[in-house]
């Protein structure tokens, strides 16, 4: 019967040789400049879905010309769309699947027809992309869950904090105007006490829906906590904010949740604050919160505008 006849000394000397060979192979792989090795290297170094698709578009463009790349995928409660370049009349479409799971759709367009050799090359490179793409999608879902309120399925307080910091930075760099609305459901505790928390949850979900319908696509809505919501309006001043806040309050006023022979309903109060120059997120939020307090103190079911000081 054959066996391992190496002495311990021979075995120990073989290990460094294997490590040297591995190191040489690694160096050759990291230094290789062919499209396959380069794509493998680059897509394995990021979990950002946008960055990953940018890398793929760049590397694909080195192999064959295309006009536009479009990637679409439904990630949790959000639609993710990535677009690069300009389109054309000829296109090829791919559904990206791995192990029975769907990871989006990718389309390529250009002004001339794709050849069979080019289509084969695209499919080969997509085979390199698919595993990193799966990892990036899963990472995006984890990030989304951490920033999403589980009941209303809208962004949460943590997401609001990040958005306030981002908008303050943009405002300081470019002078863009941003307005924050804080909206609180009036006497919501009485609703829970009268109708129960299940009905209260239905009202909170309906409120999130009302906020989505009363705001523009570019506006951002958040569940700030409990029965309090926030709306961020880009390129908007106090007058714009007051109009949106009143529209939101009217939509909330129209909410009706059947409960036996009665209907549960609520009103809302709102505080509006347009960001001042060089104001921190904490200061901006505090002024909106003070405006909300004043709306409640004045009798609720109304909008109050924070004072604007030049």
Q: What residue spans define the domains of the chain? A: 28-146, 157-305
Helix runs in 97-196, H state only: 116-146, 157-174, 188-195
CATH 3.40.50.11390 fits 157-305, yes or no: no
Q: Whole-prediction pTM value?
A: 0.75
| Strands (DSSP E) found in the chain | 68-75, 78-85, 90-98, 101-110, 178-185, 220-225, 228-234, 257-259, 262-264, 268-274, 303-305
Residue with tokens 């109304």: 302
pLDDT of residue 309: 53
In 3D, which of 206, 223, 187 has the Cα closest to residue 296?
Answer: 187
Q: Assess contact for 273 and 284: CB atoms under 8 A.
A: yes
Q: Assess contact for 151 and 198: CB atoms under 8 A.
A: no
**DSSP one-letter string for 216-245:** -TT-EEEEEETTEEEEEEET--HHHHHHHH
Q: Which fold has domain 28-146?
A: Beta-Lactamase (3.30.450)
In 3D, which of 226, 238, 214 has the Cα closest to residue 184?
Answer: 226
d(CA 305, CA 3): 86
pLDDT in tens, the chain (310 residues): 455 565 655 555 566 788 877 777 777 767 767 888 899 999 999 999 999 999 999 999 999 999 999 999 999 888 999 999 998 999 999 999 999 999 999 999 999 999 999 999 999 999 999 999 999 999 999 999 999 999 999 999 999 999 999 999 999 988 899 999 999 999 999 999 999 999 999 999 999 999 999 999 899 999 998 999 999 999 999 999 999 999 999 999 999 999 888 999 999 999 999 999 889 999 999 999 999 999 999 999 999 999 765 4
Q: Spell out the residues 6+ positions from residue 55 whose beta carbon is closer than 8 angstroms to its own.
A: 39, 42, 43, 46
d(CA 129, CA 107): 14
Between strands 268-274 and 303-305, the pairing is parallel
Q: How far is CA 96 from each of CA 75, 127, 134, 200, 305, rounded to the nearest angstrom? A: 14, 9, 9, 41, 49
d(CA 294, CA 310): 21
Between strands 262-264 and 257-259, the pairing is antiparallel
The one catalytic residue among 59, 227, 228, 279: 227
- Assess whether 58 carries a catalytic annotation: no
Q: How far is CA 232 from each of CA 50, 98, 99, 267, rounded to the nearest angstrom? A: 24, 38, 40, 20
d(CA 132, CA 129): 6
């Amino acid at each position: 019967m054959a066996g391992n006849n190496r002495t311990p000394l021979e075995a120990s000397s073989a290990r460094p040789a294997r490590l040297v060979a591995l190191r040489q192979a690694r160096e050759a792989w990291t230094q290789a400049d062919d499209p396959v090795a380069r794509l493998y290297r680059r897509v394995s170094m990021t979990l950002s879905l946008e960055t990953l698709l940018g890398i793929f578009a760049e590397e694909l463009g080195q192999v064959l010309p295309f006009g536009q790349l479009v990637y679409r995928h439904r990630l949790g409660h959000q639609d993710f769309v990535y677009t690069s370049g300009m389109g054309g009349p000829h296109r090829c479409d791919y559904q990206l699947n791995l192990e029975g799971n769907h990871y989006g759709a990718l389309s390529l367009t250009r002004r001339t027809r794709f050849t069979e050799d080019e289509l084969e090359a695209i499919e080969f490179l997509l085979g390199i992309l698919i595993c990193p793409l799966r990892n990036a999608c899963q990472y995006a879902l984890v990030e989304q869950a951490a920033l999403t309120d589980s009941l209303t399925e809208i962004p949460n307080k943590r997401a609001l904090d990040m958005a306030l910091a981002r908008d303050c930075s943009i405002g300081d760099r470019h002078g863009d105007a941003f307005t924050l609305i804080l909206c609180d459901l009036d006497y919501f505790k009485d609703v829970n006490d009268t109708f129960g928390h299940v009905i209260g949850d239905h009202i909170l979900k309906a409120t999130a829906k009302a906020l989505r319908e009363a705001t523009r696509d570019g506006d951002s809505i958040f569940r700030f906590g409990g029965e309090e919501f926030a709306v961020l309006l880009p390129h908007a001043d106090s007058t714009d904010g007051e109009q949106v806040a009143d529209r939101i309050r009217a939509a909330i006023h129209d909410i009706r949740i059947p409960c036996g022979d009665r209907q549960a309903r609520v009103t809302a109060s709102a505080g509006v604050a347009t960001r001042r120059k060089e104001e921190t997120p904490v200061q901006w939020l505090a002024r909106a919160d003070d405006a909300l307090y004043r709306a409640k103190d004045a009798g609720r079911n109304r909008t109050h505008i924070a004072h604007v000081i030049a």
